[in-house]
Amino acid sequence: TYISKSNISLNAKSSPNKINIFYYDSKPEDFIAGFTLNYFYTKNKTEYNPELLFVNLENNAKLCNKKIEVTQNSYSIIYLKNNDIDFINLDCVYGILDRSVLVLNLSKNKIFIPKNFSYLNIERKTIIRNILAKGMKEENLRSIIIDDQNTNDKGTIAKIWKDLGGNVVLEASLEKKLSSQKLLSKILLLGQSEIRSRKLSREISLALEHEPRRRQDVDLFIISTNLKNSRSLKPALEYNLANYLPVYLIPEWGEQENLKENEIDLEGSFITGMSLMLNAKINPSNLGEIRKSKGFAAGYDAFELAIILNNQKEISYSGMLGLISNKTGKLELVPLVGKIKKGEIKFLYPID
């Protein structure tokens, strides 16, 4: 089981009787859905029933003048996803909440955090570094990196890969006018193989049987695109004689599409960066039509973390975002990594 309910006491004395949720997200529906699903599940299974207060920071112009009751046994969460953090007055929010606070930052901004607050910064760079470290352990050092117009981060990935000790053979982008097959044929130098064959055929005046050979200086592919493009690139790799090279997928974070129950087109790929809770073995495991996004995962884990951090000094929690712990003195995330086998995601790590 990779996603589990934490084994904590939910008695009224130790757990917060009120949870304040301050959020800055232009589309907060997924986060709220994840948070409330965990809340109602816990409420139905136990007697724990904290009061919830949701405050939208997009409408916080008068927040400093409001009196938000922060009781002695309450816990507060600040969830930040929009990148224009300067639009809101975080200092005002910090002034209201002087203790028992978790700041969950999914934006691209670096922000000031008071020393007595818990802070979890979920950066795409962290997700990328985590899965690439696996490739490095497998001694697959020479990479081709492909992004698209949605991610536009091949340069960032290349720097991370080089910092880990890898070599970048080529960086390429999948553009709208170029098909996956044509792009891969080009970067694998299959056309050059055909040209050499034709040249030799003319020189010896004999027709030669030509079997294309891909370039031999590549150990793995790193693909950072939306799911639609990933589903076209992976089969194109197989068609262009590179089907035995490892493929590491880092889907776009703003992805509006879910992973399918049967991802045949991504077969054999390693994948990370999405909220990989499709095989969740908790109840309710059937989440119906709820979009299983990173926002949903953040909301689900935020409820759990509010209780754990309120009750325990040292934590190790396997959530929908990954393994979250504070053994080093600060909250850190080890993202989930899976491999697609027979169309289904099989989790590799972290393991409880």
* Band of residue 334 on the pLDDT scale cut at 50, 70, 90: confident
Distance between alpha carbon 246 and the CA centroid of its chain, in Å? 20
Token pair for residue 259?
């992973």
Q: Is 299 helix (H, G, I), strand (E, B) or coil?
A: helix
Return d(Cα 349, Cα 338) in angstroms, integer: 7
Tell me what the pLDDT averaged over the chain comes to. 78
On the CB side of 202, CA atoms within 13 Å amount to: 5
On the CB side of 149, CA atoms within 13 Å amount to: 4
**What's the rounded mean pLDDT across residues 264-268?**
87
- pLDDT per residue over 28-83, tens digit each? 998 998 899 889 888 888 888 999 999 898 876 566 666 566 667 889 999 999 88
20 DSSP β-pair partners? 53, 76
With CA atoms as reference, report the closest residue to 321 among 300, 338, 339. Answer: 300
Beta carbons of 300 and 35 less than 8 angstroms apart: yes
Task: Let me know the angle formed at the C-alpha of 127 by 224 and 139, rounded to the nearest 5 degrees.
Answer: 80
Return d(Cα 320, Cα 298) in angstroms, integer: 7
- pLDDT per residue over 270-309, tens digit each? 988 655 544 344 444 455 555 667 888 899 899 999 999 9
Kind plus residue range of the DSSP H or E element containing 191: helix 190-204
**What's the rounded mean pLDDT across residues 108-116?**
88
What is the pLDDT, as a whole number, of residue 203? Answer: 46
Phi, psi of 221 (to 5 degrees): -115, 140
Beta carbons of 143 and 169 less than 8 angstroms apart: yes
* Band of residue 254 on the pLDDT scale cut at 50, 70, 90: low
Most confident of 27-36, 81-90, 225-234: 27-36
H helices within 66-139, ranges in order?
A: 90-96, 124-137
* Band of residue 153 on the pLDDT scale cut at 50, 70, 90: very high
Return d(Cα 302, Cα 319) in angstroms, integer: 9
Would the pLDDT of 103 be above 90?
A: yes
* Band of residue 213 on the pLDDT scale cut at 50, 70, 90: low
